[in-house]
């Protein structure tokens, strides 16, 4: 029998390896196909590493469901095509509420997780939209936002946290006299004006939820003669917003971006900063040991009026059109295990949404804890306006010196025109 050539041996080995790989691949495919796939859509980029690891742990712990992370799909297109993700965990706002009010989201009221949500937090969902007889959205995490302040500067100047408008002005005047910029503004990015300056000043004086209830009822009737309007109801807080900017913000605020603000504040260039907790991690990259605190912006002469701005950072929902509602519900239950929720909120500086949530402990956000616990909070006024109205650009124009009355009058006209189209 002739001895095989080295070339033939190599070919034989290669063929055997190929067969082995093919067999392994087929076996892997068979294993993966035996589990029901759950398409899980996540909207928060900075939370992707956390949930990617969580999904790996969940998939390894059982064989019934294979969760696939999706961070890039177009939600609106998916719903329109009848092919939405099986489970979503997204920031909940007015735009997301459109799916709720049209009945596109399934009822989760029979799940034990729905019974654990704090009623005052669930009410935040209902401020945007409801669907009769359904609990379609379960809040997962709430972000509370208020004025971030440099405790070292306050201590050096002998300042107390202000609780009324007059006390705030006195603090700003003392800082200015000491050569310290009271507030750092970043008006080149419109969203920073809307989220902070506009929302804090309006929310500190106006019943935001009640205002929008009336505005929605008025619809096309909103205007100069209506009982409430942007021009009429927001006039004083927005005038005060412009006063704080003109008198107490950095003179180059018009050209400063969010990134500029985080760096400048980390380097002690101002005493206060109107940003949410997401900025704290960015500030810590430059000054990890900087002592920071938070307090609600006082807009009246009564400390009992103090409230913090909140938004539902993440909320869970399952579409009616999901191909795997059972698997989606199983993973939702896993996400809502209290230790899983607590770990996420601790990492992201969020507040818990359940009756058994762990209390916040990070000193940077402890200044908002009592207000959150007592439901002394409001959702940002800028977030209750449809995106078809360029609210962020309007608030930016006020920050840059435009007449507030004229801008708010335009906002009223836009609101009435949109109500007519709808």
Quote the pTM value. Answer: 0.88
Together in a domain, 228 and 287: yes
Buried b (16+ CB within 10 A) or exposed e, 10-28: eeeeeeeeeeeeeeeeeee
What is the DSSP track for 182-200?
SEE--TTSHHHIIIIIIHH
Domain for residue 244, yes or no?
yes
pLDDT for 344-378, tens place per residue?
A: 999 999 999 999 999 999 999 999 999 999 999 99
Together in a domain, 398 and 415: yes
From first CA to last CA, the distance across the chain in angstroms is 88
pLDDT for 103-143, tens place per residue?
A: 899 999 999 999 999 999 999 998 888 889 999 999 999 99
Domain for residue 383, yes or no?
yes
Together in a domain, 260 and 379: yes
CATH code: domain of residue 397: 3.40.190.10
Together in a domain, 250 and 325: no
Together in a domain, 287 and 391: yes
pLDDT for 203-260, tens place per residue?
A: 999 999 999 999 999 999 999 999 999 999 999 999 999 999 999 999 999 999 999 9
Domain that holds residue 188: 144-310+369-421
pLDDT for 1-16, tens place per residue?
A: 333 443 443 444 344 4
Together in a domain, 299 and 162: yes
Sign of CA dihedral 335, 340, 344, 349: positive
Together in a domain, 223 and 343: no
Q: What is the phi-psi region of residue 89: left when phi exceeds 0, alpha when psi lies from -120 to 50, beta otherwise?
A: beta
How many structural domains compose the chain? 2
Domain for residue 18, yes or no?
no
């Amino acid at each position: 029998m002739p001895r095989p050539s080295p070339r033939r041996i190599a070919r034989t080995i290669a063929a055997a390896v190929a067969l082995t790989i093919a067999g392994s691949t087929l076996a892997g495919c068979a294993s993966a196909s035996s589990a029901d796939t759950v398409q899980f859509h996540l909207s928060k980029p900075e939370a992707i590493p956390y949930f990617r690891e969580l999904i790996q742990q969940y998939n390894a712990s059982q064989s019934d469901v294979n969760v696939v992370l999706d961070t890039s799909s177009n939600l609106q297109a998916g719903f329109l095509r009848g092919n939405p993700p099986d489970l979503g965990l997204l920031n909940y706002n007015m735009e997301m509420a459109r799916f709720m009010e049209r009945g596109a989201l399934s009822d989760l009221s029979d799940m034990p997780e729905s019974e654990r949500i704090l009623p005052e937090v669930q009410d935040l969902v209902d401020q945007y939209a409801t669907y009769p007889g359904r609990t379609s959205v379960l809040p997962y995490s709430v972000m509370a936002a208020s004025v971030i302040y440099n405790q070292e500067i306050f201590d050096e100047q002998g300042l107390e946290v202000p609780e009324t408008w007059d006390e705030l002005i006195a603090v700003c005047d003392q800082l200015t006299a000491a050569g310290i910029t009271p507030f750092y503004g970043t008006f080149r990015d419109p969203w920073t004006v809307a989220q902070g300056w506009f929302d804090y000043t309006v929310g500190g004086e106006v019943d935001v939820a009640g205002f929008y209830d009336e505005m929605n009822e008025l619809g096309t009737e909103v205007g100069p003669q209506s009982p409430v309007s942007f021009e009429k109801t927001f006039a004083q807080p927005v005038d005060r917003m412009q006063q704080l900017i003109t008198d107490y913000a950095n003179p180059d605020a018009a050209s400063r971006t969010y990134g500029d603000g985080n760096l400048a504040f980390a380097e002690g260039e101002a005493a206060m900063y109107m940003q949410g907790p997401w900025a704290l991690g960015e500030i810590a990259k430059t000054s990890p040991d900087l002592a920071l605190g938070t307090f609600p912006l006082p807009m009246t002469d009564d400390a009992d009026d103090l409230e913090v701005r909140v938004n539902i950072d993440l909320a869970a929902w399952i579409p009616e059109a999901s191909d795997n509602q059972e698997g989606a519900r199983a993973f939702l239950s896993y996400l809502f295990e209290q230790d899983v929720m607590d770990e996420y909120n601790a990492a992201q500086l969020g507040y818990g949404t359940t009756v058994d949530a762990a209390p916040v402990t990070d000193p940077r956000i402890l200044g908002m804890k009592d207000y959150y616990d007592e439901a002394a909070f409001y959702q940002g006024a800028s977030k209750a306006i449809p995106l078809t109205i360029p609210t962020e650009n309007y608030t930016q124009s006020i920050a840059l010196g435009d007449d507030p009355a004229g801008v708010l009058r335009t906002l009223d006209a836009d609101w009435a025109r949109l109500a007519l189209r709808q």
